[in-house]
Homo-oligomer: A and B are copies of this chain.
């Protein structure tokens, strides 16, 4: 495949992913709404361009990772699809499966190809080349861009040809992540009100039957009140939970836990906590129980 990639979106995850691609030998044409975020990459040889469409070279490959469905649909407009032509658009954003299917059609109309490739992992994981990548789309397209995935992640899981399938998995995983934080929070509040420190509870459980990254990392965050800086900010995870609700609703799949989680995040937004990390979800159950956090 081509050695030069287009790259759109230098957010909390986008930036370390772009860095890994450059370390992996790719040249980048980068676009970000806030141009200054590209400074470090440009110093290392990336070319900054002034619009999404300029990242695309006919028959080339563009990676996009932006904040939501609307941003992605704007970035990958008709002009972008035409510029990319028969190339491949790798979409790593957490968006609805519907948006991926829409984009797959948009690209197909001009002979182009679309691969959904949302990733699991916080910014630290991206910086350590430890993302997990979920893919869906045409098999040949996925095979063609495999070197991109190998440069940024520790593993790829494929979910078939339906462009939206990987997004379904990503949404399901983020829901499970959020449910896990809420469960830890409720358990911690109950324990603390019964004289057991949340540190003792969560350290025990996350080193035994829940010894996996989600419980270890978010458990540590809860124990140590690591609410800032936000690696995964409240407005983004609220957006994800809304996507879960919509995707479940469209498919007629009741998910009672999701509504509860959405309400927690709405309450955080209502109380001016937008800047906090997803881990701060734990404040809800604690405050409900009248606990002073500390």
Interface size, A (range) = 35 or more
CB contacts (< 8 Å) of A257 on chain B: these are 179, 182-183, 186, 257, 260
Q: Which of B175, B187, B196, B208 contacts A120 (CB 8 A)?
A: B208
Q: How far is the CB of A249 from chain B (nearest CB, A)?
A: 10
Q: Whose C-beta in chain B lies nearest to the C-beta of A134? A: B204
How far is A164 from B196 in the complex, measured between Cα atoms in Å? Answer: 10
The reply on A172 being an interface residue by CB < 8 A is yes
* A210 and B254 contacting across the interface, CB-CB below 8 Å: no
Per-position contact with B for A39-78: 1 when CB-CB < 8 Å, else 0? 0000000000000000000000000000000000000000
The reply on A173 being an interface residue by CB < 8 A is yes
Given contacts A134-B204, A194-B164, contact A289 B254 (CB under 8 A): yes
- Copies of this chain, complex-wide, total 2
The reply on A132 being an interface residue by CB < 8 A is yes
CB contacts (< 8 Å) of A97 on chain B: these are 194
The stretch of A109-117, A141-149, A155-163 in contact with B is A155-163
The reply on A95 being an interface residue by CB < 8 A is no
Q: Which of B169, B186, B192, B208 contacts A255 (CB 8 A)?
A: B186
How far is A257 from B259 in the complex, measured between Cα atoms in Å? Answer: 11
The reply on A223 being an interface residue by CB < 8 A is no
Q: Which of B159, B187, B193, B252 contacts A200 (CB 8 A)?
A: B159
Q: Whose C-beta in chain B lies nearest to the C-beta of A217? A: B209
The reply on A269 being an interface residue by CB < 8 A is no
Residues 231-263 of A at the B interface (beta carbon under 8 Å): 244, 247-248, 251-258, 260
Per-position contact with B for A163-188: 1 when CB-CB < 8 Å, else 0? 01100110111011101101110111
Taking Cβ atoms with an 8 Å cutoff, the residues of A that contact B are: 97, 120-121, 132, 134, 155, 157, 159, 162, 164-165, 168-169, 171-173, 175-177, 179-180, 182-184, 186-196, 200-201, 204-205, 208-215, 244, 247-248, 251-258, 260, 285, 288-290
